[in-house]
Amino acid sequence: MIIPAIDLIDGKTVRLYQGDYQQKTNYQQTPEELVASYYEQGAQILHLVDLDGAKDSSKRQTTRLKEIISVAKMPVQVGGGVRCQQDVNDLLALGASRVVIGSLAIKEPELVKSWFGIYGKEKIVLALDVQISASGEKLLPTHGWINASDTTLESLLAFYGEDTVQHVLCTDISKDGTLTGSNDGLYQELKQQFPSITWQASGGIGNLDNINSVAQSGADGIILGRALLEGKFTLEEAIACWQNA
């Protein structure tokens, strides 16, 4: 499945390069324009990220998120700065179909694991951003990749359990925003190791060949941001490529 992404700062469409707020690109298209276009081209789900909320949860763009979700004719998964259960409740109340949880899933796994029992595994997406070490370990930094962590992807998923988690969005940090291709080997390895998890790949997609490669890696879906915004291909073309892979 192809999942178009919209990242927000000050209510406007942006992209960051490898998560760096100092390397921000602003785009002319409004989130509402993109939502309408993506729906018309066949998007079945939207990925919406509140980058202001991710940086400071007290600055969550609640009004803008609600406005965007309200015009979307497809389910919307929303992330950015989920720090407590009230944040989950608030995002679901705004109309989010799924809540994306990143750093907190690594820092407070017991707490986040309890939420799967409360909301069900369809309502939560774990966003696990991978920094691959020189020795090949899949380390999970937190808070927008600012804070290092010695937690590995495999150990965290072993803690949660495949019977608990359904959706995992996995980004190879070194690929994010680069348009240089995805880490296909990573997704192939993860799908073989955790086959019952629905894997959302993210980072590095610059052309249709990259999409074809991810589709063949075993990933269940792919997040597309910058490539769509910069017209490397249309969403319609991406969906056709994925389906024909």
Backbone angles phi, psi at 81, to 5 degrees: 75, 30
Q: Is the pLDDT of residue 146 over 60?
A: no
pLDDT value, residue 143: 59
How does pLDDT run across 42-101, given as a tens digit for each residue? 999 999 999 999 888 889 999 999 999 999 999 999 999 899 999 999 999 999 999 999
How does pLDDT run across 168-197, given as a tens digit for each residue? 999 988 777 677 788 999 999 999 999 999
CATH class of 2-244: alpha beta
Annotation marks residue 209 as catalytic: no
Q: Is the pLDDT of residue 39 over 80?
A: yes
What is the model's pTM? Answer: 0.93
Distance CA 134, CA 179 (A): 22
Annotation marks residue 129 as catalytic: yes
- Domains in the chain: boundaries: 2-244
How does pLDDT run across 149-161, given as a tens digit for each residue? 788 999 999 999 9
Among 103, 72, 113, 78, residue whose Cα is nearest residue 92: 78
Distance CA 14, CA 243 (A): 28
pLDDT value, residue 99: 98
Kindly give, in sequence order, each residue whose CB lies less than 8 Å from that of residue 114, ignoring residues fewer than 6 positions away: none
Which of 50, 52, 87, 129 is catalytic? The answer is 129
Q: Is the pLDDT of residue 145 over 70?
A: no
Torsion of CA 114, 154, 152, 128, to 10 degrees: -60
SS (H, E, C) 172-241: EHHHCCCCCCCCHHHHHHHHHHCCCCEEEEECCCCCHHHHHHHHHHCCCEEEECHHHHCCCCCHHHHHHH
Kindly give, in sequence order, each residue whose CB lies less than 8 Å from that of residue 110, ignoring residues fewer than 6 positions away: none
Which of 7, 172, 176, 184 is catalytic? The answer is 7
Q: Which two tokens stand for residue 113?
A: 């694991």
pLDDT value, residue 96: 98
